[in-house]
Amino acid sequence: MLQRLENLPVGSFHYKLLIVTGLGWLFDSMDTGLISFVLPMLAKDWNLVPEQVGLIGSVGLFGMAIGAVMAGSLADKFGRKNIFAATVILYSVSTGLCAVAWNYESLLFFRFLVGFGLGGELPVAATLVSEYAPANLRGRFIVLLESFWAVGWLAAALISYFFLPVFGWKAAFLIGSLPALYVFLIRLHMPESVRYLLSKGKTEEAEKIIIDLENKLGVEHKPFDEEKIIPEEVQPSPLLLFSQQFRIRTIMLWLTWFGIVFSYYGIFMWLPSIVYAQGFEVVKSFEYVLVMTLAQLPGYFTAAWLVDKIGRRYTLSSFLLMSGVCAFFFGNADTSTSLLISGAAMSFFNLGAWGVIYTYTPELYPTFIRALGSGYAAGFGRIGGIIAPALVGSLIAGGFHFNIIFGLFASVFIIISVIVVSLGFESKQMSLEEIK
């Protein structure tokens, strides 16, 4: 049965699935971007001190960590489609509630719920797409899914520069609540994962989806005479992630996720403040934000091509290594031109690496713990996102120079690049059933 799923020609269904899940990614990114633009206005209106502003960002990341872990576990129990839709509704409604927050504490609570929904959606969406994409193009599809993140950031930048000055920060949160309507698209155009259904013994429902897909893609289908797949008897448990079978890959993924999230949030949440403090006023311009954001797209597309050519392990390790090299040169830039070039290159490689890690992670676990394993890896990584902004703030307060801070991030990138090469194994062109 799964061979028939793998043999489906790539067609309208696959691209529709990519777009529907990609829109979720876009909305997630837009919300993350909007909050970074909203915080200065909010701080001014509510007279918040820097520590309070930082906590608003951190509580969202804490929510993302909890959401990734819980949603991954729930998706292996109740299905990818249901949990994906539930997390979209949660973060949409919670974002809208931020617009009516009556004090600082209520805003923190709503931002935690927003983070919970955002963190839960991403690994579940990646798992769903990976379970439908054919083995020879699976990597490309997941990296392209991740590329919607750059489009969301671009949308956030455009809204912030042309909309917020007129309508204020509350309007941004109301815009962020619109994705709740998008759940209807999920319900109409996104089937449940066939692999998930089979792992739960729901063979007839899985057969119906495959026949429907074959009809839509113009494939002649025959009666199912293949051996029935026996549902997994092992109950998904976080302890399984550290069993002898999965221990090495779990350690590799957790360390890599921690490093990439630590570096991303440490760099990009503080980037404007650090660079501006060094006298580079270009960082305050819309053109700077546009260049840094647009550089992400070719990074994604290059990674999408390489990931099915040279493989996940070498693409990921090389992009992480180059992220470290670019971070070093960015930290030592002494002109606006060198700052823009090294910054764009850093954005290119860093976001390309994000696309590959979302491809690689679901592939390293079997179906019955795929969402759980992906969720826990992403959740552990979010701890790095919580630590990094506070650490950078402490380094700045301690008088550490620009190049020292970026030297730290360069070192982290290089270390996790070595970890991927040393502990990872290649899953290129393998069907998900071959991965044990």
Residues 287, 291, 293, 295, Cα dihedral to 10°: 170
Residue type, 154: L
pLDDT at 424: 86
pLDDT at 296: 87
Give yes or no for a contact between 79 and 193, defined as CB atoms under 8 angstroms apart: yes
Residue 228 has a pLDDT of 54
Report the phi/psi class of residue 126: left, alpha or beta, with left for phi > 0 and alpha for psi in -120 to 50: alpha
pLDDT at 421: 94
- Among the listed residues 38, 80, 55, 24, the one whose alpha carbon sits nearest the alpha carbon of residue 371: 80
Maximum Cα interatomic distance, the chain, rounded to a whole number of Å? 71
Q: Give which of 70, 176, 159, 164 is closest to 123, Cα–Cα.
A: 70
Instruction: Please give the model's pTM, rounded to 2 decimal places.
Output: 0.82
Cα separation, 124 vs 117, in Å, equals 11
Provide DSSP, 198-259. HHTT-HHHHHHHHHHHHHHTT-------SPPPPPP-SPP-GGGGGSTTTHHHHHHHHHHHHH
Q: Write down how long the chain is.
A: 436
Q: What pLDDT was estimated at residue 387?
A: 87
Residue 175 token pair? 């815009």
CB environment 13-37: b (16+ within 10 A), e (fewer): bbeebbebbbbbbbbbbbbbbbbbb
At residue 101, φ and ψ (nearest 5 deg) are -60, 130
Q: What does the pLDDT look like over 286-296, one tens digit per residue?
A: 667 678 778 88
> Would you state the structure tokens that stand for residue 75, as one six-digit string?
């998706």
* Model pLDDT for residues 70-127, shown as the tens digit of each residue: 988 888 888 888 888 888 889 889 989 999 998 999 999 999 999 999 888 888 888 8
Q: Which residues of 396-432 are buried (b: 16+ CB within 10 A; e: fewer)?
A: beeeeebbebbbbbbebbbebbebbbebbeebbeeeb
CB 117 within 8 A of CB 71: no
- Give CA–CA dist 210/17, Å, rounded: 15
> What is the spatial distance between Cα 137 and Cα 139, in angstroms, rounded to a whole number?
6
For residues 59 and 40, give the distance between their C-alpha atoms in angstroms, rounded to a whole number: 17
Spans in the chain with pLDDT lower than 70: 1, 187-188, 221-236, 270-287, 289, 429-436
Give the pLDDT confidence score for residue 232 in this predicted structure. 53
